[in-house]
Amino acid sequence: MAKTGASTKLPRSKGTDMATFYEAKECARKVKYLVLQGQNRRIVDEFMTILERREEFEQHGVPIPNKIVMYGPPGTGKTLTAFYVAASLELPLIVVRLDSLIHSHLGETGSNIRKIFDYARAVPCVLFLDEFDAVARTRESGDEVKEMARAVNTLLQCLDEFGESSLFMAATNLETELDPAIWRRFDTRMTYDLPAASEREHYIRLLIGDFDCEASVEQESCRLLDGCSFADIEQIVLKAKRKAIIERQPLCGSHIRLSHEEYAPVPISIMSHS
């Protein structure tokens, strides 16, 4: 379970912690499987290599990358990647709670952002800001509130002064709403998408594991679950397994079909317009 860091206290706002602290071991427990798509696997592996061989990069005067932005539809593994990176680097993960960061008082949001970044400078960690678009909305958009514009400026400064002891990761569904000045601050960008057929198949196989199933079930699920996110697929396969257990039968195509109908995943195109 989440708990407060022992050495330096997490900053607070409105009487609550502005972030949740996860030990590296807790992060490892949360990441049973992570299917990284396309070049994301390579990006993450390269990232780990660089951090393991930090000195060589310092000798060459090549800066260490430590600011990652992830964007793509819901349920595709952005948050999971943050847990994975923290677990792999054996660093705690600090998940910022946006609701407690954003404040209606003048200058308070910016000051909260600064407190969080100060914390990450003092305690080596992976600092993760989810729903990043909420803070980093473009300063040019018409309905921009001045407080948020100020907060964006603070964020830019904090990113510039971040140093090299921690990692900053941010995730968003809405990359078009990000301020271009913010985009430039990131040295690593990762794009997420709904799983392609081969990724679905791989993921479904992992989810089924050694559960007793009919031979055709993997391929049938893969076809049926086209257009679903990884998170949807996980829920549907779990539902189907429950049905199989209730019936004391091997998992079969009809369990998957029924679960898909019941779960009725929301198409991403509808979600993004809501």
Ligand X SMILES: Nc1ncnc2c1ncn2[C@@H]1O[C@H](COP(=O)(O)OP(=O)(O)OP(=O)(O)O)[C@@H](O)[C@H]1O
Footprint on this chain of ligand X (rule: CB under 6 A): 33-35, 74-80, 171, 173, 192, 230-231, 234
User: Contact at 8 Å (CB) between 133 and 178?
Assistant: yes
C-beta of 34 vs 170, nearer to ligand X = 34
C-beta of 231 vs 258, nearer to Mg ion = 231
Taking the complex as a whole, the smallest distance from the CB of residue 226 to ligand X amounts, in Å, to 16
> Which of Mg ion, ligand X, none does 109 bind, CB closer than 5 to 8 A by kind?
none
Taking the complex as a whole, the smallest distance from the CB of residue 173 to ligand X amounts, in Å, to 5
Taking the complex as a whole, the smallest distance from the CB of residue 250 to Mg ion amounts, in Å, to 34
**Helices and strands: H and E segment counts in the chain:** 14, 8
C-beta of 135 vs 224, nearer to Mg ion = 135
> Any idea which residue has 């679950």 for tokens?
225
Across the beta sheet with 126-129, what order do the strands follow? 19-22, 93-96, 126-129, 167-172, 67-71, 188-191
Contacting Mg ion within 196-255 (CB under 5 A): none
Cα dihedral sign, 140-168-46-50: positive
- DSSP helix, strand, coil percent of the chain (3-state; round to 5): 50, 15, 35
Taking the complex as a whole, the smallest distance from the CB of residue 37 to ligand X amounts, in Å, to 7
Q: Binders of Mg ion: how many residues, by CB under 5 A?
A: 2
Which residue of 40, 79, 109, 173 would you call a contact of Mg ion, by CB under 5 A?
Answer: 79
Cα dihedral sign, 246-247-250-251: negative
Taking the complex as a whole, the smallest distance from the CB of residue 195 to ligand X amounts, in Å, to 7
Taking the complex as a whole, the smallest distance from the CB of residue 171 to Mg ion amounts, in Å, to 5
Residue nearest to ligand X (CB): 77
User: Contact at 8 Å (CB) between 233 and 80?
Assistant: no
What is the Cα–Cα distance from 51 to 68, expressed in whole angstroms?
14
What is the Cα–Cα distance from 218 to 252, expressed in whole angstroms?
9
C-beta of 40 vs 79, nearer to Mg ion = 79
> Which of Mg ion, ligand X, none does 34 bind, CB closer than 5 to 8 A by kind?
ligand X
Taking the complex as a whole, the smallest distance from the CB of residue 48 to ligand X amounts, in Å, to 17
C-beta of 50 vs 231, nearer to ligand X = 231
Count Cβ atoms below 10 Å from residue 67 Cβ, excluding itself: 16
Phi, then psi, of 170 in degrees rounded to 5: -135, 145
Establish how many alpha carbons lie within 13 A of residue 24's alpha carbon, considering only the half-sphere containing its beta carbon: 10
> Which of ligand X, Mg ion, none does 214 bind, CB closer than 5 to 8 A by kind?
none
> Which of Mg ion, ligand X, none does 110 bind, CB closer than 5 to 8 A by kind?
none
C-beta of 79 vs 154, nearer to ligand X = 79
Site residues, Mg ion (CB under 5 A):
78-79
